[in-house]
Amino acid sequence: MDDKRTLITPEQKLDAIMKATLEGVSIIDSDMKVLWANPVAKSWAESPDEVIGACCYSVFRNKTSICGECPALKAFKTGNIEKSIEFSSANGEKKSFAVTASPIKDSGGKVFSVAVVAHDLTRSLELESEVREVSTRFRAIIDGIGDGISIIDKEFNIVRVNKAILDMFGISGFSEVLGKKCYRAYYRRDMPCGDCPAEKTFLEDKQNHSTIIRRDGKEKRICDISTFPIKDPEGIGSVIEYVRDITGRINLEDQLLHSERLAGVGELAAGIAHELRNPLSTITSSIQLCLKKYEITDGVKRHLTIILRNSENANRTISELLDFAKPCDMSFKPDNVGRVIEKVCNLVQSRCARQSVRIRKKMQKGMPELILDEKRLESSFMNFLLNSLDAMSGGGTITVSAYYDERKDEIAVSFADTGEGIPAENLDRIFDPFFTTKRKGTGLGLSLAHNFIACHKGRIDVKSGAGKGTEINVRFPVFKNKAGE
CATH number of the domain at 10-125, out of 3.40.50.720, 3.30.450.20, 3.30.470.10, 3.40.50.11540?
3.30.450.20
Q: Rounded to whole angstroms, how far apart are CA atoms 410 and 401?
A: 14
At the top level of CATH, the class of 145-245 is alpha beta
At 482, the pLDDT band (50, 70, 90 cuts) reads very low
pLDDT at 91: 59
Dihedral of alpha carbons 231, 233, 234, 238, sign:
negative
- pLDDT for residue 2 is more than 70: no
| Architecture of the structural domain at 333-477 | 2-Layer Sandwich (3.30)
- pLDDT for residue 324 is more than 80: no
Summarize the confidence of residues 5-21 as an average pLDDT. Answer: 70
* Residue 264 CA to its chain's centroid (Å): 37
Please give the C-alpha separations between residue 323 and each of 59, 169, 383, in angstroms, as whole numbers: 94, 41, 14
Q: Rounded to whole angstroms, how far apart are CA atoms 373 and 328?
A: 10
Of 485, 475, 321, the residue nearest 413 (C-alpha) = 475
Q: Rounded to whole angstroms, how far apart are CA atoms 139 and 91?
A: 38
* Three-state secondary structure readout of 265-278: HHHHHHHHHHHHHH
- pLDDT for residue 485 is more than 60: no
- pLDDT for residue 251 is more than 70: yes
Q: Tell me, what amino acid is at 319?
A: S
- The structural domains of the chain, with segments of one domain joined by +, span 10-125, 145-245, 250-325, 333-477
CA atoms within 13 A on the CB side of 380: 31
Angle between helical axes of 247-293 and 445-455 (0-180°, round to 10): 120
Question: Can 10-125 and 145-245 be said to share one CATH topology?
Answer: yes
Dihedral of alpha carbons 245, 250, 253, 254, sign:
negative
Name the strands in the sheet holding 208-216, side by side, starting at the edge strand that comes first in the sequence.
158-161, 148-153, 235-245, 219-232, 208-216
Of 161, 170, 165, 157, the residue nearest 139 (C-alpha) = 161
Of all residues in the chain, the percent with pLDDT exceeding 70 is 84
- pLDDT for residue 29 is more than 90: yes
What confidence tens digit (pLDDT) does each residue in 160-171 have?
A: 888 888 888 888
Cβ neighbours around 299 below 10 Å, total: 8
What confidence tens digit (pLDDT) does each residue in 444-453 have?
A: 678 778 878 8
Please give the C-alpha separations between residue 254 and each of 27, 169, 196, 477, in angstroms, as whole numbers: 82, 24, 27, 18
Of 179, 175, 148, the residue nearest 162 (C-alpha) = 148
What confidence tens digit (pLDDT) does each residue in 52-90 have?
A: 999 998 888 888 888 888 999 999 999 999 998 887 765
Q: Are 454 and 461 in contact (CB under 8 A)?
A: no
At 323, the pLDDT band (50, 70, 90 cuts) reads low
Q: Rounded to whole angstroms, how far apart are CA atoms 296 and 289?
A: 12
Q: Rounded to whole angstroms, how far apart are CA atoms 288 and 308?
A: 8
Q: Rounded to whole angstroms, how far apart are CA atoms 266 and 434?
A: 11
Please give the C-alpha separations between residue 100 and each of 62, 115, 116, 177, in angstroms, as whole numbers: 20, 8, 6, 42
pLDDT at 103: 93
At 381, the pLDDT band (50, 70, 90 cuts) reads very high
Q: Rounded to whole angstroms, how far apart are CA atoms 57 and 99?
A: 13
What confidence tens digit (pLDDT) does each residue in 328-358 have?
A: 567 888 999 999 999 999 989 988 989 999 9
Cβ neighbours around 189 below 10 Å, total: 13
Out of 218-222, 313-317, 376-380, 479-483, pick the least confident: 479-483
Q: Are 400 and 365 in contact (CB under 8 A)?
A: no
What confidence tens digit (pLDDT) does each residue in 123-150 have?
A: 888 888 888 888 888 778 777 788 888 8
Q: Rounded to whole angstroms, how far apart are CA atoms 314 and 451?
A: 22
pLDDT at 217: 57
Residue 79 gets the label, from left (phi > 0), alpha (psi -120 to 50) or beta, of left
Cβ neighbours around 267 below 10 Å, total: 11
- pLDDT for residue 19 is more than 60: yes
- pLDDT for residue 112 is more than 90: yes
pLDDT at 209: 85
In sequence order, what are the beta bridge partners of 119? 98
At the top level of CATH, the class of 250-325 is mainly alpha
Q: Are 81 and 103 in contact (CB under 8 A)?
A: yes
- pLDDT for residue 198 is more than 80: yes
Summarize the confidence of residues 239-260 as an average pLDDT. Answer: 76
